[in-house]
Structure 1
Amino acid sequence: MASFPNVYTHRKVSETSSKACEICYKPSTSVLVTPENKDFFYVCAGHLKDRVFCTPIIDEAAVAAKKKKAMEAEVERVKLEFEEKQKKQKEKEKEKGKDKEKNEKDAKAEDKKKLEEVEAEAIVVEDEPRVFVLKKAFYQQRINKKRQAEVARRNRERLQNPNLFPQVPKNIS
């Protein structure tokens, strides 16, 4: 049996699909999966933070892109706030009329909507699947478990084969 790479992707499953953690046997909805689904196991989210169990592989480009997007959203929010303050100052300087108040209220409502949209975009965080590398002892344990399962499967298949057992001699004189 070919071994699988020591790269596991963290996935979440539904509460109804939760199974026992491979380490502490508590119900867990977190699953670590290898590429091409050659190996998977359930693990508590707390174990993923344990440096003795595994270490995360951090994608620097994705982190930089998230920071850049957050910075752009913050700049947009500050610009909208500044424009809103400028409009308020102009309001104080101008004459107050009913027609102008209606237009200003409409403009304020539009600005608030834009501000809420920008804030909503900043709040939405795209959760990318996190990638982990197991420590040597845990990875070796996973390989051994897979090998034992493969040997057990082969043994079951052999026992199903009727030619495995010797036959009673037929030509005894």
Structure 2
Amino acid sequence: MKQKKPENGSVVDITPSLHLQKFGNTYYYFGTTFKGNYFQALQFCNLHGMSLLSVESEEEIGGTDRRFWTSGTIFPDDTHWVWLTTGKPITYTNWLPKQPDNTGRNEKCLELRYGSNLMWNDAPWNTANLVICEIDVTKENSNILTGVTNCNLTVINIPSE
């Protein structure tokens, strides 16, 4: 990872090349090395010009054998789940049996758990999980995403600000 030294003397990481996978008009980054809590996952995706995953259909994401953060979170009333990055209510769900259960009254974040269908589980914010980031293809960012094709992993450099 390249680094630059800003005027104030602190070291800031410049976004590395990411392996992106395309599905429809959205590109996904499946993190395989970085693990962090819910807020670190949000920040990781944001720093890479992307958003933490919001799953809106069963077809959107295939299988994996790990745990990943999504942007799903529950309102303080403990009854309404939303996608934090879009503000939309969660309408499609794929909860594990008997989930969400809010064990310990501190499971306010939505993780994808291993299994053939990426079942959902509510988890505490401080659980260390991998990330799935997403970015929609728009006219403004299409030049950044040039060269990525369906079902093909390609190294793409998404510049940070």
Q: TM-score, normalized by length of structure 2?
A: 0.25
Richer in strand (by share): 2
Q: Larger Cα Rg: Structure 1 or Structure 2?
A: 1
Richer in helix (by share): 1
Q: TM-score, normalized by length of structure 1?
A: 0.24
